[in-house]
Amino acid sequence: MDASLTLLILDLVGVYFFAVSGSLLAARQRFDLVGSLLLACVAGLGGGVVRDLVLGAGPPVVFTQPLYLVPPVVAVVTVYFISASVRRYNRLLVVFDAAGLALFCVSGTLIGLNAHQHPVAAALLGVTTAVGGGLLRDVIANVTPTLFDQREFYAIPAFVGAALTVAAESAGLLQGVAAIVIAALVFGLRVAGRRLRWSIPLASRNVVD
DSSP 3-state of 82: coil
Among residues 169, 194, 14, the alpha carbon closest in space to that of 94 is found at 194
Among residues 31, 32, 40, 43, the alpha carbon closest in space to that of 76 is found at 40
CA-derived radius of gyration, the chain: 17
Out of 70, 74, 84, 191, the only residue in the binding site for its own copies (CB under 8 A) is 84
160 is a site residue for its own copies (CB under 8 A): no
Name which of residues 95 to 114 contact its own copies (CB under 8 A).
none
Out of 8, 70, 95, 124, the only residue in the binding site for its own copies (CB under 8 A) is 124
Q: CA-to-CA distance for 114 and 11, rounded, in angstroms?
A: 14
Q: How many residues bind its own copies (CB under 8 A)?
A: 69
Name which of residues 127 to 146 contact its own copies (CB under 8 A).
131, 135, 139-142, 144-145
CB of 188 to its own copies, least distance (A): 18
116 is a site residue for its own copies (CB under 8 A): no
Q: What angle (nearest 5°) sits at the alpha carbon of residue 96, between those of residues 91 and 102?
A: 125
CB of 175 to its own copies, least distance (A): 22
How distant, in Å, are the alpha carbons of 9, 33, 91, 119 from that of 116? 21, 40, 38, 9
120 is a site residue for its own copies (CB under 8 A): yes
Out of 10, 21, 28, 110, the only residue in the binding site for its own copies (CB under 8 A) is 28
Contact criterion met (CB below 8 Å) for 115 and 129: no
Contact criterion met (CB below 8 Å) for 69 and 60: no
Name which of residues 175 to 204 contact its own copies (CB under 8 A).
199-204
Q: Site residues (CB under 8 A) for its own copies?
A: 23, 26-39, 49, 53-56, 58-60, 62-64, 66, 69, 76, 79-86, 89, 117-118, 120-121, 124-125, 131, 135, 139-142, 144-145, 147-148, 150, 154-156, 199-209
